[in-house]
Chain A
Amino acid sequence: MKRGKPITRFEELTPGFWREVALEPGGELIARCFACGTCTAACPVHAVDTRYNPRQLVHMILLGMRERVLSSDFIWLCSGCYTCADRCPQGVRVTDIMTAVKNIAAREGYLHPTFRQQAELVGRFGRLYEVEDFDNKKRQRLGLPPVKKTFPEVQEIFRMTGMGKYTEAAEANQP
Chain B
Amino acid sequence: MKYALFLGCTVPIRSQNYEVAVRAVAARLGIELVDVEDFSCCGFPVKSTNAQTTLLMAARNLAVAEEQGLDVCCLCSACSAVLTETNLELQQHPELLRQVNRQLRKIKRQYRGSVKVKHFARILYEDYGLEDLRRHVTRPLTALKLAPHYGCHFVRPKGNYDAFDDPEAARSLDELVAVTGAEVIRYETKKYCCGGAILGVEQTTALGLSGLKLSDVRAAGADALISICPFCSVLYEDNQKKVEEQFQREIALPVFFYPQVLGLAMGYDPKDLGFRLNKVRPDEVLAKVLPAAVA
Name A residues whose Cβ lies closer than 8 Å to a Cβ of B: 24-26, 44-45, 47-49, 52, 76-83, 85-86, 93, 95, 99-100, 102-103, 106, 111-112, 114-119, 121-122, 126-129, 131, 135, 138-139, 142-145, 147-148, 151, 153-154, 156-158, 160-163, 166-167
Contacts and interface: CB of A to CB of B under 8 A. Distances in A.
Given A48-B209, A76-B201, A114-B200, A157 B107 contact: yes
B28 to A, nearest CB: 15
B202 to A, nearest CB: 6
B141 interface: no
Contacts of B50: 103, 106, 119, 161-163, 166
Contacts of B274: 142
B181 interface: no
B52 A45 contact: no
B186 interface: no
Q: Which of B23, B41, B106, B109 has the most C-beta atoms of chain A within 10 angstroms of its own C-beta?
A: B41
Q: Which of B10, B197, B204 has the most C-beta atoms of chain A within 10 angstroms of its own C-beta?
A: B197
B193 A83 contact: yes
A135 B12 CA distance: 9
B16 interface: yes
A126 B48 contact: no
B60 A153 contact: yes
B117 to A, nearest CB: 17
Contact of B53 (A102, A117, A126, A161): A161
Contacts of A144: 12, 16, 19-20, 23
7 contacts: A25-B51, A44-B192, A81-B152, A112-B201, A115-B49, A144-B16, A158-B53
Contacts of B53: 157-158, 161, 163
Contact of A45 (B10, B157, B205): B205
Interface in B140-188: 152-153, 156-158, 167-168
